[in-house]
Amino acid sequence: MSKDKKKQKEPEYNVELIKRIQPHGGISFKDDLYVKTGDGYEACLHIMEYPQEMDDHWLAPLTNIKGTVVTVDISTDDAEEVKKNLNRSMTEQNQRYRSASSYVDEEDAETKFQLMDMLMKEISRMNEVVKIVDTRIFVADRTWIGLEEKIKEIKTKLDNQGYKAYINLNETKDDWMSMNNTYREQQKSREAVEGQSYTSNSLAGGYPFHFSQLEDPRGGYYGYTPTGGNFVWDMFYKTKIRSYYNSLVVGTMGSGKSTLLKIMEEDEGVKGHFLRIFDVADEFVALTEELGGKILKPDGSGKDIQNPLEILHATESEQLNFSRHISRLTTFYKALNPEAESTEVTDFTNLLTEFYESIGLTPIVDGVERQISGLPPTAYPIFSEFLDYLNKCIAEMLQKEYNEAEMVLAKTRLETLYNITGQISYIVKTYGNMFNGHSSINNIMDEQIVVFNISGLKDMATNVFAAQMTSLMALCWDNMVTNGKVMKEKYESGKIRIEDVVDFLILVDESHRWVNTKFEVILDMIITYMREARKYFGGICLASQSIRDYVPEGTSDVALNKLKTLFELTQYKFIMHQDSNATDLLRNVFNGILTESQIRKIPKLEMGDAIVNLSSAQTMEVHIQITEEEKEIFKGGV
């Protein structure tokens, strides 16, 4: 009988399980810094300090460190003991405040006192439960040097996020055993270190297992989230809350912005969608050639000319095409001469309309509409012809005789006419190779991918750059509308399914150079395009290095509101690393879109990291990832 009892007391071991999980080659705890095993070295980083201001999911940066094992021990603290400790600490801080010899010491004591007072009230009045949190990060490597490098890298990253991690000397065995022991069992050790106390609400806010991913049905792989989820994105995928296709990308130099834009080009290009890209620094040349696209140089250095006076075919109504054309040229003139007064702009519009009438390019003749858009390039006038017309108008005015009352009006009109003639003469004589010629970009609608290499154009006068960009943007818009109408007719008639629709993307790198609060008229134009793009299965992507580039100093509230409207019209916002001095502007522009913790995280984003806002209800952090083959094609990488 006694033998049976003895057998019952003997612990039962699963020998096979032990064989599988035991350290191969044994384990040694002799060193005071690390654990030595048969296949390498291990160390334990103990989190001793947490950030004073906690973000949402504040445990996530600790539990998502690649190549580590993390334990978070949680226990309930004794409320009465907590009150006693708080009372003692509050008394100490009160004495510090009263005896402080400097403002800094006084402020520090007062802040700590208020925090403890708040916690005391939560425990006493709201019955808040206090939890003890003890976090350990276990790191391993085959060599001691490799382990040291990993520890150094992790500690540096944690320091930047407000966490303080240390290795407890001579406690390697206790730390290693803690993986299998409860917090109370750990505290039985003489060298045990107590964890940090937090309210249950604060602990709940630190929930680290908020798995996030995006997997659009026809999406391309862009990267992964911190929780290991895929970011498979299709900018033209429509849902109940994602209803349009515009996007914004901002990221400082070296943040991975250019790589992200190239992934967009590759993803949309291989799907067969139309692409129109404005390339500032020859970034897209190699990839475009790989995809079989066409590269144009609209800076006058070659033969690539887009005649601004050519009437583009954007709608079936020739009257509407003509009205839009005159409106675009008015925008062109405002960009060319930002200081022009409203009377001068009005006179320019009237003179332009009269000029087209003089050469027979009017949409209505004897009450019958006729085609004036989409004609051969040589059917349209060029700026030197318009200049001749203006000089002719001046000559006619000078030859007329006026009475005293008419003379005042004539002088004013003549002065305005001289101003307009001066501007047109300026672009004919100085930039004639860019603007004064028939369009040489033929059959551009037949090209799937077209890159406008504006590396030479961007260094020209700001007004010339802006004027040319408005002209090229109008051309791209015409292409988008033309394609969109065809796709819309086929889709609505049931000839194609939604997944067979050929979409259209206009991608503008360094867009802040001409899309900013300095050129309000251009802002209005882009806002209009963005509002209407979804109707034609199109999207516009604006990219820049800094959000501050869009808002020059001295920006008026009206212009800033227009910029906010522009950003609101972007369904997708990729915010990569920004300098800390841009946080106030980010807070202002993205108020209600990004949380305070997300805004504070932006200056700390590393290369390839981005905070992506997909809708008002969905924002996630993503790391952009490319293959080695893509790095070679992209000529760079994250």
Specify whether 190 is located in the same domain as 336: no
Question: In whole angstroms, what is the distance from residue 555 CA to residue 548 CA?
Answer: 11
Q: State the helix-helix crossing angle for 318-336 and 342-358, rounded to 10 degrees.
A: 140
Q: Taking a C-beta distance cutoff of 8 angstroms, is the pair 624, 260 a contact?
A: yes
Q: Which of 419, 438, 457 is the last residue of a domain?
A: 438
Q: How confident is the model at residue 637 (pLDDT cuts 50, 70, 90)?
A: very low
C-alpha distances out from residue 39 to 26, 28, 136, 140, 334, Å: 9, 12, 22, 10, 72
Residue 288 lies in a domain: no
Which domain-ending residue is among 406, 438, 470?
438
CB 563 within 8 A of CB 550: yes
CA distance 73 to 185: 11
Round to the nearest angstrom and report the end-to-end CA distance of the chain.
72
| Residue 549 contacts residue 515 (beta carbons within 8 Å) | no
Number of structural domains in the chain: 2
**Stretch 349-356: mean pLDDT, rounded?**
95
DSSP 235: T
**Predicted confidence (pLDDT) at residue 556 exceeds the cutoff of 80:** no
| Beta carbons within 8 Å of 208's beta carbon, 6+ residues apart | 57, 59, 60, 62, 63, 64, 72
What would the DSSP string read from start to end of 335-383? Answer: HH-TT--HHHHHHHHHHHHHHHHHTT--SEETTEE---SS--GGGS--H
Average pLDDT score, the chain: 88
Side chain identity at residue 106, one-letter code: E
pLDDT exceeds cutoff 50 at 638: no
Least confidently predicted of 7-16, 111-120, 205-214, 409-418: 7-16
pLDDT recorded at residue 442 = 66
* pLDDT digit string, tens, across residues 462-479: 889 889 998 899 889 989
CB 336 within 8 A of CB 344: no
What region, left, alpha or beta, does residue 330 occupy, with left being phi > 0 and alpha being psi -120 to 50 degrees? alpha
Top pLDDT among 405 and 569 is at 569
CB 320 within 8 A of CB 372: no
Reply yes or no on whether the pLDDT at 373 is more than 60.
yes
Q: What letter does residue 102 receive in the DSSP assignment?
A: S
Answer whether residue 528 is part of any domain. Answer: no
SS3 assignment, position 132: strand
| 3-state secondary structure at position 523 | helix
Residue 568: inside a domain = no
Q: Is 316 exposed, middle or buried (0-12, 13-18, 19+ CB in 10 A)?
A: exposed
Which tokens belong to 406? 């008419």
pLDDT of residue 389: 96
**256 dihedral zone (left: phi>0; alpha: psi -120 to 50; beta):** left
In a domain, 185, yes or no: yes
User: Residue 101 — pLDDT band, cuts 50, 70, 90?
Assistant: confident
Six-digit token string for 615: 């809708």
Choose between 102 and 148: higher pLDDT: 148
| 7-16, 110-119, 163-172, 347-356: the lowest-pLDDT one | 7-16
Range scoring the smallest mean pLDDT among 21-25, 292-296, 490-494: 21-25
Return the DSSP state at 11: P
pLDDT at 526: 92
Segment 12-22 mean pLDDT = 80
pLDDT above 80 for 127: no
Same domain, 56 and 191: yes
For residue range 37-49, list pLDDT tens digits in order: 888 999 999 999 8
CA separation, residue 388 to residues 348, 353, 410, 422, 556 (Å): 14, 15, 20, 12, 39
**Distances 317 to 182, 302, 361, 363, 545 between C-alpha atoms, Å:** 77, 34, 15, 9, 40
pLDDT for the residue numbered 319: 92
Share of the chain above pLDDT 70, in %: 97
**How many beta carbons lie within 10 A of that of residue 365, not counting itself?**
10
Handedness of CA 231, 235, 238, 243 (dihedral sign): positive
d(CA 599, CA 621): 12
Structure-token pair, residue 627: 């293959």
Location of structure tokens 């034609």: 536
Query: Hey, what's the torsion of the CAs at 384, 390, 394, 399, to 10 degrees?
Result: 90
pLDDT at 189 over 50: yes
Q: Which amino acid type is present at position 441? A: I
Q: Which residue has the tokens 């390697």?
A: 172
pLDDT band at 488 (very low <50, low <70, confident <90, very high): very high
Rounded to whole angstroms, the Cα distance separating 23 from 350 reads: 87
pLDDT attached to residue 539: 97
> What's the CA angle centered on 327, arms 322 and 333, to 5 degrees?
125
Tokens standing for residue 432 = 């004639």
Asked if 130 and 197 touch (Cβ cutoff 8 Å), the reply is yes
Specify the pLDDT at position 134: 92
pLDDT, average across residues 269-290:
93
Report how far apart, in Å, the C-alpha atoms of 126 and of each of 122, 453, 566, 580, 606 are. Answer: 5, 64, 45, 38, 41
196 and 334 part of one domain: no
Average pLDDT over residues 208-231: 89
Residues 57 and 196 in one domain: yes
Residue 390: give its domain's CATH number: 1.10.8.730
pLDDT confidence of residue 316 = 79
On the 0-12 / 13-18 / 19+ scale of CB atoms within 10 A, 405 is exposed
Average pLDDT over residues 148-165: 92
* Domain finish residue from 402, 417, 438: 438
Query: 397 with 417: CB under 8 angstroms?
Result: yes
User: Does 380 fall in a domain?
Assistant: yes
Contact yes or no for 380/361 (Cβ under 8 A): yes
Mean pLDDT in residue range 518-531: 87
Asked if residue 29 is part of any domain, the answer here is yes
Which domain, by its residues, includes 133? 25-205
Identify the H or E element spanning 588: helix 583-589
Weakest mean pLDDT among 119-123, 155-159, 386-390, 447-451: 119-123
With respect to residue 529, please indicate whether it lies within any of the assigned structural domains.
no
Task: State whether residue 615 is helix, strand or coil.
Answer: strand
Same domain as 337, residue 192 = no
List the beta bridge partners of residue 594.
591
Q: In this structure, which amino acid lies at residue 369?
A: E
**Alpha-carbon dihedral 629, 633, 635, 637, rounded to 10 degrees:** -40
Residue 477 three-state SS? helix
Segment 334-356 shows an average pLDDT of 93
Nearest residue to 526 via CA among 563, 482, 575: 563
Question: What is the token pair recorded at 356?
Answer: 């087209």
**Structural domain contains residue 630:** no
